[in-house]
A and B are shown apart, each in its own frame.
Chain A
């Protein structure tokens, strides 16, 4: 299976780095997915949830409050202001979800975008 590199960076440090199979990003002009060998792209990101498919049916969600993404040469770099990873591996998921909601609510964007994102975060709870 083809993979690409994904990096999610905030001013407070690296949130995620690794090889992934697919990423769905909350673009300012609509959600879009990126697969390996995508054409070069730079886009503004809205507040929302980045859905990451790591492969082997493993998934991860990262809530962000806006930023940029650059897709280039099989590498996706997300530069965001704030991010909370909602991975299913650690036992503090509920706490993470609260943090993520807090982060999204503070974001400066339309209320519909926030509501959609919060809804997505909540659906992560139901999945686990």
Chain B
């Protein structure tokens, strides 16, 4: 029989844990709402910028030239691929980080099998510490961006990769992150940033009127626009990942709270049983003591 005091202490500790997890759940749900709002607002920008890239690309095509901008050239056999992945800075969010890492590992083996060199660019403490522990080199590491994404820092991060791409040091940039679907589901998203897949752009919105372009060089303009688009994609991936992180944490903390509650109930039953047993033993002792005195 477990000691009464010990059970009591256990109950107290479980109840304290329950309070903490419950508080974390509430915090996450509040943060999730804010992040969701942020994502919704920034989507307007995405819609506009794709529309504009589309129109300028169509305008170049209309003049008879093929769009041969470096950002749009598909590479049949890439030699080097830059893999950008986003994990959280903090744990306690269920399988959120490990799912991303698992996916990155799968990609690594896949590329290795086909003889492609992969360079990792990591965002988030969890992913960085995982690869450091496993002695896998990362080209770029940034650890406090995923908890508070800002456009400027996201742009700075991705531009390093884009510059490498323009210099021909890498043939492809892929972003992997765990994205937000709804309150209870997250899914791994893998997106190829460059070369830009032109089929991903919405066609058909192009107006018939002649477009006047200033400065008078649509290639420069297109390039500048695509750069913005890449910066934005990175920023959006970060927001999406943050929303997913909060929803994953909310879920994890919710089940932790439920588990703690069940545990506390079980322990209370155990405590009551033990208490009753103790009383019974005491009574028997008293009664048998009285009997022997007769």
Determine the distance from Cα of A13 to Cα of B215 in the docked complex, in whole angstroms: 27
Which parts of B207-242 form the interface with A (CB within 8 Å)?
Answer: 207, 209-215, 221, 224-225, 228, 232, 235
Is B56 interfacial (CB 8 A cutoff)? yes
Is B174 interfacial (CB 8 A cutoff)? no
Report the minimal beta-carbon distance from A78 to chain B, rounded to whole angstroms: 9
B212 and A39 contacting across the interface, CB-CB below 8 Å? yes
A41 and B225 contacting across the interface, CB-CB below 8 Å? no
B207 and A9 contacting across the interface, CB-CB below 8 Å? no
Residues on A with C-beta less than 8 A from B134 are none
A40 and B207 contacting across the interface, CB-CB below 8 Å? yes
Residues on B with C-beta less than 8 A from A9 are 44-45, 48
Q: Which of B52, B211, B214 contacts A79 (CB 8 A)?
A: B52
The residue in chain A whose Cβ has the minimal distance to the Cβ of B52 is A70
Given contacts A11-B151, A12-B38, contact A27 B48 (CB under 8 A): no
A29 and B215 contacting across the interface, CB-CB below 8 Å? yes
Give how many B residues have a beta carbon under 8 Å from the other chain's beta carbons.
Answer: 25
Report the minimal beta-carbon distance from A48 to chain B, rounded to whole angstroms: 15
Main secondary structure of the interface of A (DSSP, over half): strand
B214 and A43 contacting across the interface, CB-CB below 8 Å? yes
Is A73 interfacial (CB 8 A cutoff)? yes
Residues on A with C-beta less than 8 A from B16 are none
1/0 per position for B157-189, CB-CB distance to A under 8 A? 000000000000000000000000000000000
Report the minimal beta-carbon distance from B183 to chain A, rounded to whole angstroms: 22
B41 and A12 contacting across the interface, CB-CB below 8 Å? yes
The residue in chain A whose Cβ has the minimal distance to the Cβ of B220 is A44
A40 and B210 contacting across the interface, CB-CB below 8 Å? yes
The residue in chain B whose Cβ has the minimal distance to the Cβ of A41 is B212
Give how many A residues have a beta carbon under 8 Å from the other chain's beta carbons.
Answer: 25
The residue in chain B whose Cβ has the minimal distance to the Cβ of A82 is B151
Determine the distance from Cα of A79 to Cα of B52 in the docked complex, in whole angstroms: 9
Q: Which of A10, A44, A73 contacts B209 (CB 8 A)?
A: A73
Given contacts A42-B211, A70-B55, A73-B209, contact A13 B48 (CB under 8 A): no
Is A14 interfacial (CB 8 A cutoff)? yes
1/0 per position for A19-43, CB-CB distance to B under 8 A? 0000000011100000000011111
Given contacts A12-B42, A68-B225, contact A28 B214 (CB under 8 A): yes
Is B196 interfacial (CB 8 A cutoff)? no
Is B49 interfacial (CB 8 A cutoff)? yes
- Beyond A29-B215, A68-B228, 4 extra complex contacts between A and B, CB < 8 Å: A42-B56, A43-B213, A70-B55, A72-B207
Chain B residues engaging chain A, CB cutoff 8 angstroms: 38, 41-42, 44-45, 48-49, 52, 55-56, 151, 207, 209-215, 221, 224-225, 228, 232, 235
